């Protein structure tokens, strides 16, 4: 493990592999097994670092080589990273591309297991006025009231909006309900000269842009 600490000190945390990063996080003086071998076993079981914080603490602690204290440490590290990402989100002033939207919203969506729909309210120059959750639902669906979306846009004097929601249990491809909702909101927005710039679906596998997919 000394070599890993030396690597961290000389080259920074970004130089560490997932296995090395996990090994340093769970390292303990009481280890009977090498932390790298424990980290390797954990990643082999769960596939990636991203899946670990989504596990219940009570379940994660039962994984061989982890235990309660290490499980707590992993959850705390994930929460620290999430809060840093959320703090960075608040510094965003403008949104120009679907990738900007994904960077803005993924830190939130990656922590939930139900579906939520958000709206980004923008000025004509793409300056972000507000981002607001407009609905939340179950694993596969959520109900959105298009009237509330337009009402808030008028209150903010927003001339452009972007719809964003997540698919926690599947791919990012839009469903028939997603397409219908988008067209309903677009029709309502057009009555007030408000543009729906995009509708972006974010899943753990990637994201889908209605604009890129020529559905808007």
105-119 residue pLDDT tens: 888 888 788 899 999
Give me the percent of the chain exceeding a pLDDT of 70. Answer: 88
- In degrees to the nearest 10, what's the CA dihedral of 59, 63, 68, 70? -120
pLDDT of residue 126: 92
pLDDT at 88 over 70: no
73 three-state secondary structure:
helix
150-202 residue pLDDT tens: 999 999 999 999 999 999 877 899 999 999 999 999 999 999 999 999 999 99
Average pLDDT of the chain to the nearest whole number: 84
- Which ranges in 18-63 belong to alpha helices (H)? 18-26, 35-46, 57-60
pLDDT of residue 4: 82
- Give whichever of 20-34, 165-179, 196-210 has the largest mean pLDDT: 196-210
- The CA distances from residue 100 to 103, 124, 146, 168, 175, in Å, are 5, 17, 24, 20, 23
- The CA distances from residue 18 to 40, 41, 71, 125, in Å, are 9, 12, 16, 40
Between CA 210 and CA 199 the distance in angstroms is 5
Which tokens in the block code for residue 66?
């982890």
Mean pLDDT across 48-53: 74
Q: Which domains occur in the chain, in start order?
A: 2-87 (1.10.150), 93-209 (3.40.140.10)
Between these two residues, 92 and 160, which has the higher pLDDT value?
160
Between these two residues, 47 and 134, which has the higher pLDDT value?
134
Mean pLDDT across 86-101: 74
pLDDT of residue 140: 52
- Which ranges in 116-175 belong to alpha helices (H)? 146-156
């Amino acid at each position: 493990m000394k070599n890993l600490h030396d690597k961290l000190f000389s080259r920074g945390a970004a130089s560490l592999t997932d296995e090395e990063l996990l090994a340093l996080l769970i390292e303990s003086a009481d280890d009977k097994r090498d932390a790298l071998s424990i980290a390797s076993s954990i990643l082999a079981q769960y596939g990636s670092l991203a899946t670990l914080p989504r596990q219940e603490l009570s379940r994660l602690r039962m994984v061989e080589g982890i235990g309660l204290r290490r499980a707590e440490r992993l959850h705390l590290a994930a929460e620290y990273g999430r809060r840093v990402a959320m703090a960075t989100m608040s510094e965003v002033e403008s949104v120009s591309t679907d990738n900007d939207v994904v960077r803005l919203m993924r830190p939130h969506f990656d922590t939930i297991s139900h579906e939520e729909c958000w709206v980004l309210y923008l000025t004509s120059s793409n300056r972000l006025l507000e981002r607001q959750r407009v609905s939340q639902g179950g694993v596969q669906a959520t109900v959105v009231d298009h009237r509330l979306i337009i009402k808030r846009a008028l209150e903010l004097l927003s001339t452009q909006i972007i719809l964003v929601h997540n698919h926690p249990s599947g791919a990012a491809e839009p469903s028939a309900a997603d397409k219908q909702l988008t067209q309903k909101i677009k029709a309502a927005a057009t009555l007030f000269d408000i543009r729906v710039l995009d509708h972006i679906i974010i899943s753990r596998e990637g994201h889908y842009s209605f604009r890129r997919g020529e559905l808007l």
